[in-house]
Structure 1
C-alpha cells in the first residue's frame, strides 16, 4: 500500500467508527453496505480484519440507521466462509454475538428479522454453530435455547418482525449434537412444538423445521420416543408427502388417523428440498427393527408409493426407492443384525455412497428457492 492509499485507508477507518460524527459514520457504513452486495466488494471488506471489526463496532452503535446498515453489511459478508471467519476471529466477537442473541429475542426489536438472518448465515458452518451454542449454554447467557424456541414458535411475538429466519438459525444449530439433545429433551416438549410448522405457510420455516426433524432422526436412540404417543412424529412427516389419492378401506384404516380420508384437493409439499428432508427423516426412522415395524404397521408404504409416482424431481427418486426397499424388503438376518446403522459397510463403498448422496442433495438444493445451506443476502 502506498503512503497515499495508507492515508485514505486511515481516514476511512476514522469515519468507520462509533466515535465519528453521525453523518460521517453513516456515510461510511452505508458505503460498506453497498459494497457488500457483490463479490468484489465483500472481498475488499474481508481483506482486512480491522474493517470487519469496525463494522461490528458500528452494529452496536446507539444510532438505529447506523446499526441497520452495519447489520446489512454483516449479513452479506457472512454469506461467504471467509466473512464468517472474520466475524468469529474478531476480539469483540463474543460481545457482538451476545448483543445479537439478546436483541433478536427482544420483543418489539425493529431489527429482529435482520439479526435472525445474520445468525442464520453465521451458523451455516459447524464452527459458527458451536460458538453460538456455547454462548447459549453459558452460566449467564444473552438468550437461552428455550427462549429461541419459544420466540420462533410464537408467530406474532414481535409486531415489527415475522422472525421466519430464526427457524433456519435453529436448523443450522441442529447439525451439532449438543443442540440436537436440546431439541430431543423429553421433558421440554420442543419437538412437539415444532411439528405443526411442517405445514406452515412460510417456506423458510417449513424447510428449516424439516431439516431439524431430519437431523434429530439421526439420533436413533430416540426413535421409540419419536414414534410413540409422546411425540407421534410419523403423521407430520407423511402428511406433506400425501396427495388426494383414495385407498380401499383396509389400507385406509391402517394409516395414521391424520392421513385417513384426505380432501380431494389435498396437495403435496411444493418445495423439493423439504420433501427430500422428510424422506430422509423417514429413512432414518427405519434404522431399527422397531422403527421399521412401526412404519410398516401404519401403512407408510402406500403413501410413499403414491408420492413416488407423483415426484417430478428425479434427483429425489433414489432416496424414495431406498425407503421403499426398506419398507417392503425382508428383515436383515440375525447374523447381520437388526440395526441398519450397525451393519458393517466396507470403507470404499461407504465413501462412494456418501459422495453420491451428497451430490443428490446438492442438486435438489440448487433447484430450491430457499435453502438453509445457502446464505441469505439482503
Structure 2
C-alpha cells in the first residue's frame, strides 16, 4: 500500500471501518523488523498513529497504542516518537487519569522509551513540564485500585528506568517521602513478575548510588583512633607439621578353613492321603 494513500486513511475524518483497516495493517507491520524499518523511513505514519490514540473508537485507539508499543520497543524509533510524533505530552496527560482505559499501554510505552539515556532524559523533562513527579507515580503504583481498568504493573519498570537519573534517585531516597519504604512490600509480589522486577531494579539502582563507604570530614576524622601499626608476621615462628610414626600393627590371624559336613540324605516320608 502506498504511504500517501495509507496516510489519507489515518485521519480523524476517515470512516471508522476504513481507519480500522489502516490501523490493523500498521499493527501487523509494526510486529516485525522490516515493518519497523518502514516506519523509521516514513515517520509521518507514526505521527498519524499518535494522533489517532484519541480517536472516538476505542478499538482504533487501542490498536494505535499497540502500534506505539511495538515501535517504542525499537530504540531506533525512539527519537522519531519523542521528537517527530511528539507522543510524550499526550501520554503523560492521560497517565494519571484514574478512568483512562489505556493506562497500561501508556506505562508500557513510557517504560520502553526510558530504557536508554538518550530518551530517558527527554521523558524526564516532559514529566517536569506536565507536572508529573516520581512521587506521584509511586502513589499510583502503591494505591490498589487506582485505575480499575489498568493493573499499572509496568509502572515498576518505568520507575526502575527513571532511577538511572540522579534527580529521580534523589526523590526516591528522600527520607521524608518514604518512597523506598513504600516499595519494599512489592519485593515479594507474586501476582506480577513485571511489577516485582521493576521494584527490585529500582531499589538496586538506589543502593548502587550509595554504595561504598562515605568519606568522613576532617572533624569526624579527628575523633577516630589512629590506625594500628602492627609488625609484619614472623615466618620463622611458624612450626612445621608434626611427623607421626607409622603404626606397627600385628599381622592378620591365620584361621583354619572350616570343614562343613554335606547335607544328610533323608528318606521321603510315606504319608496317607487326606480324606475331605
TM-score range, shorter chain: 0.7 to 0.9
* Larger helix share, 1 or 2: 1
Match of 1:20 among 14, 38, 55: 14
Q: 1:218 aligns with which of 208, 213, 216?
A: 208
1:206 aligns with 2:196: yes
Pairing partner for 1:136 from 127, 131, 156: 127
Q: How far apart are the structure 2 equivalents of 1:192 and 1:210?
A: 13
- SS of corresponding position for 2:170: helix
Equivalent of 2:186, from 197, 201, 204?
Answer: 197
Shift in Å, 1:127:
2.1
Q: 2:166, 2:13 → 1: CA distance? A: 42
* In structure 2, C-alpha distance between the alignment counterparts of 1:27 and 1:209, rounded to whole Å: 39
CA RMSD across the alignment: 2.0
Deviation at 1:289, TM superposition (A): 7.0
Q: Equivalent of 2:66, from 53, 62, 72?
A: 72
Cα shift at 1:154: 1.4
Could you say which residue in structure 1 is the equivalent of 2:154? 165
**Moved runs in structure 1, 4+ residues, more than 6 A?**
none
Q: Report the equivalent of 2:137.
A: 148
| SS across alignment from 2:175 | coil
User: Post-superposition shift, 1:212?
Assistant: 0.8
Provide, for residues 323-350 of structure 1, a one-character-per-residue CA deviation record: whole Å limited to 9, x for no partner: xxxxxxxxxx89xxxxxxxxxxxxxxxx
TM-score, scaled to structure 2: 0.73
Greater CA radius of gyration, 1 or 2? Answer: 2
With a CA cutoff of 8 Å and minimum separation of 6, indicate the structure with the bigger relative contact order. Answer: 1
Structure 2 distance, partners of 1:88, 1:98, is 10
Which stretches in structure 2 are left out of the alignment for 5+ residues? 216-226, 229-276
Paired residues in the alignment total 216
C-alpha contact 1:49 1:86 (8 A) present in aligned 2: yes
CA drift of 1:145 comes to 2.4
Residue correspondence of structure 1 range 60-99 to structure 2 within 5 A: 60-90=54-84, 92-93=85-86, 96-99=87-90
String of CA shifts for 1:12-48, please: whole Å, max 9, x gaps. 1110222322221221111101111121122212221
- Kindly state the Cα deviation for residue 130 of structure 1 after the two structures are TM-superposed: 1.1
- Equivalent-residue separation in structure 2 for 1:118 and 1:125 (angstroms): 13
Query: What corresponds to 2:264 in structure 1?
Result: none
